[in-house]
Amino acid sequence: MHDERRRIEERVERLHNQRIKPAIYAATVPLTVESWQAPGEPVPFAEAAGAPYEPFAMNTPWGPPWGTTWFRMRGQVPADWAGRRVEAVIDLGFVGDWPGNQAEALVHLADGTPLKAVNPQNQYVPIAHPAAGGEPVDYLVEAASNPDILANDFAEPTPLGDVRTAGDKPLYTFRRADLAILDEAVWHLSLDVQVLHELMLELGEHDPRRHEIMHALDRAMDALDLDDISGTAADARAVLRPVLARPAHASAHTLSAVGHAHIDSAWLWPIRETKRKTSRTFSNVTALAEEYDEFVFACSQAQQYEWVRDNHPQVWERIKKAVADGSWAPVGGMWVEADGNLPGGEAMARQLIHGKRFFMEHFGIETKGVWLPDSFGYTAAYPQLARLAGNEWFLTQKISWNQTNKFPHHTFWWEGIDGTRVFTHFPPVDTYNAEFSGKEMAHAVRNYQDKGRGTRSLAPFGHGDGGGGPTREMLERARRLADLEGSAKVRIEHPDAFFAAARAEYPDAPVWVGELYLELHRATYTTQARTKQGNRRSEHRLREAELWATTAALHAPGYAYPYERLDRLWKTVLLHQFHDILPGSSIAWVHREAEAEYARVAQELEALTREALAALGTGEARAFNTSPFDRHEVVRSADGETTVVQVPANGSAPLDNTPTPDMVIVTDRTLDNGLVRVTVADDGTLASVRDLRAHREVLAGPGNLLRLHTDLPNYWDAWDIDKHYRNRCTDLLDADSITIVERDPLLGALKIERSFGRGSKITQTITLRSGSPRIDIETEIDWHEAEKILKAAFPVDLRAPHSSAEIQFGHVQRPTHTNTSWESARFEVSGHRWVHIGEPGYGVAVLNDSTYGHDVTRTVREDGGTTTTVALSLVRAPRVPDPEADQGRHRFTYALLPGATVEDAIAQGYALNLPLRVADSAGAPEPVVSVAGEGVTVEAVKLADDRSGDVVVRLYESRGGRATGVLRTGFPLAGAQVTDLLERPLGAADLDGEGAVRVELRPFQILTLRLARS
């Protein structure tokens, strides 16, 4: 037989695109359109309904960036369309085919009922099926003219990312607003041809099935009369029916499909636009569920449900009905799909607590899995947190983006730092926006790493990132692919059903231990430093407010614990931990608003803390310690005097002016407190840090060396730092001035000022305090660089085989060598409050109060010694998607801690981030809880969420070893229970008979205790 593949394939493609698809709508009549441009921000429907409208013609430009235009569309179904399927078809002037980053609209009935959204992949609004003829059409359409931030493929900066800089030139040209007849025979033929043509192209050239499909398609094209596509579509379908009926092989892979609409809570649009995106998408989904009985839609992010409930109650009622009917599946159990590395431990717990509670309260459903498809790596603390929140499974697909190494599994057990395991799946389709294309189906099968053991994988389908969700075309394709020879079998089902089946067939799946490190998007640990600082400070202020509010509730008559205010503030912080806000990968508008929100949160939490302390009464000045460790520190009183205080963990103590023997001696370039001696070089770097206790020099080169690297990644500017950044850098060695700014017996400080680059300035104050080896480097940067990254390097005279970095509820160790490609790929990593390096008998920690990104490298010197260098990433200057990212002023502190154990790093990490607070108080209430036992660390103290008055304490083993301890309360204890994260009882705690709780913890175990007051 002659090879006619090329002729047939080209014929099918042309006829489908140029004849069949244009015939899907058999007849059209235009709607009459009027418009009203809303001034400023979006307005409610009632205001738009009463606005003055003016005639609007097709092919007219409309929509300034970030504007809202309301269109009134009116018409009547022609009488002779009776019995046909009639729809409205609206084309706002869509650009390309991605629904999420351009014009989109929500269609309302005249009474304000949200009907359905339109976007480039979903332009229809159903009117009648079948039509009677004569039906009136009267719509109000809220159209958003959101700019295409992705234009030119992120190649150039754009001012469109902020309403303040975007201008007012119309972005779109309205193309179409018609009533139309959907020719169902042609539409179904189009879908038949698409599915078979795409399947054919993925089959091997010697596969008989490929040739069978090819010739069937050729015969189907013969059956079409090109002058009467509608009249002959059924004939063409009849030709294709036998090849569509051929069942899949018995061993065919099963694709468990679930509808999805990934909606970034902010990214290339502000939060206010996401609120509208959710209503648009959810309107589409609930409409689709009424048409397709088999449809199941998985939706995460409780915050987005709450927005719809508050802004579009009619859509909310439709969601509740869909949940009750089984077509809508709440998943994920988190407040938002948060970044997987940067939120603190307690914040990550609250993500799960608030999310799961929302779904339980409003739907009576407890979600069973963590649904986090698009975060930029995942902390090794996740398995334990997931299980403690009652979850059984974990899903993501982002690791498929790895730059260097292909992850070896798609279905596996993920083991966290404490040994907890959670059943985990990466969809091998490698997207959460599947469409059931032939390429996707074939890729999922070829890519699946667990062939021979597992036979199924998950495929989330639907347009996403900016929403949109599944379409009827996707569901029709799924029907054709349910049991089709040559393809994987598609089964639409709830994610819980998939995970149950996958685990049942593969209970002994392989185990992956430790973090799920994404070998890409490493700059998200650093970009938009003020956003990250706002998060870190908010987390610690929330801890502080809860502790002292609990103290006041226990000891101050008449004080009311601020449940509602704390709940609201927590949810604000949790929202901004979304995986495109906290990582710094959003447009300027998002980060501008985030900084303002963090400032408001800080102000309110400061007020809450002051109110709680004031409720305890006024009297002598006291120091209040929010950290879980006893503190012996220098503080400054309200009148500016320095003093040394000894303050218990979670407690307070009066200011004490008792001098200590180790005074601080300050000379022109030296700070010495008897524990360490710090010498500053003429260029402003640390020339020497001498540990006087260990009689050794800490540094192996200039310390606090500020290095300015060229930083232009290959593609994702705000997201990525590529390894070639190391190849070009400038050391900032020209100090403008070095001055003594503190010469107090209890503390000394030197200030170094530098100017560099494009008018940037750095002022650093190096402070040493009495009684502490910690060297603080308070930093203020006025930053005006472009496409640069600034790092602070500390070369230490240590041969450290690994570094340890704090993560949520523990720490991870990472090798300092690069023996394998996996280790080499970790050239930039994340950590929280501290990084520690050490060799037997000696260690050094680098602490910070707001940075996350860092690298640790190791070299061998000519003298045979080893230098291990910790370099903190301080600030970047990407230009896409925010051309002004990180520009302006930054203030933060990092510190060097010589002679530090991991335990020292933990304690001082808390201390740096939770400075002692000096305030007046009449009394000295006992700490709410105190713990005796090395490694048992208190992370949160609060009142129970059910308002019972019980005290909830969350603690964990922080060193990485077994720990035993005793927890005592500052109030009469009636009983104690161990609970899960949601404060539900798991069993009785171990009481010692003397009003204390005995605690035994495995390495890095998290324990939540509920303490009843007598």
Catalytic residue set: 374
DSSP per-residue string spanning 570-617: HHHHHHTTBTTTTTS-S-HHHHHHHHHHHHHHHHHHHHHHHHHHHHT-
Strand order in the sheet with 729-731: 729-731, 705-710, 788-796, 866-876, 853-860, 829-830
Per the structure block, which two tokens stand in for 933? 């036992």
Residue of 686, 603, 613, 620 whose CA lies nearest to 656: 620
Burial environment of residue 821 by CB neighbours within 10 A (0 to 12, 13 to 18, 19 or more) = exposed
d(CA 758, CA 471): 50
CA-based end-to-end distance of the chain: 91
Burial environment of residue 139 by CB neighbours within 10 A (0 to 12, 13 to 18, 19 or more) = buried
Distance of CA 601 to CAs 251, 572, 942, Å?
56, 8, 18
Cα-to-chain-centroid distance, residue 298: 18
DSSP per-residue string spanning 608-637: HHHHHHHHT---EEEEE--SSS-EEEEEE-
The residues facing 142 across adjacent strands are 70, 106
Q: Are 332 and 367 in contact (CB under 8 A)?
A: yes
Q: Which residues contact 522 (CB under 8 A, 6 or more apart)?
A: 720, 721, 827, 828, 829, 853
> Could you tell me if residue 468 is left (phi over 0), alpha (psi between -120 and 50 degrees) or otherwise beta?
left
d(CA 613, CA 338): 32
Q: Are 787 and 711 in contact (CB under 8 A)?
A: yes
Q: Are 666 and 742 in contact (CB under 8 A)?
A: yes
Burial environment of residue 611 by CB neighbours within 10 A (0 to 12, 13 to 18, 19 or more) = middle
d(CA 999, CA 995): 13
Per the structure block, which two tokens stand in for 643? 């003093």
Instruction: State residue 966 phi and psi, 5-degree precision.
Output: -130, 130
**3-state SS class at 978:** strand
How many helices, marked H, and strands, marked E, lie in the chain? 18, 56
Per the structure block, which two tokens stand in for 296? 């199941």
The sign of the CA dihedral 518, 519, 520, 524 is positive
Instruction: State residue 332 phi and psi, 5-degree precision.
Output: 90, -45
d(CA 120, CA 104): 8
How does strand 973-979 pair with strand 985-988?
antiparallel
The sign of the CA dihedral 438, 442, 444, 445 is positive
Per the structure block, which two tokens stand in for 680? 């500053």
The residues facing 839 across adjacent strands are 842
How does strand 67-76 pair with strand 136-145?
antiparallel
Q: Are 365 and 383 in contact (CB under 8 A)?
A: no
Burial environment of residue 508 by CB neighbours within 10 A (0 to 12, 13 to 18, 19 or more) = exposed
**Any idea what DSSP says for residue 463?**
B
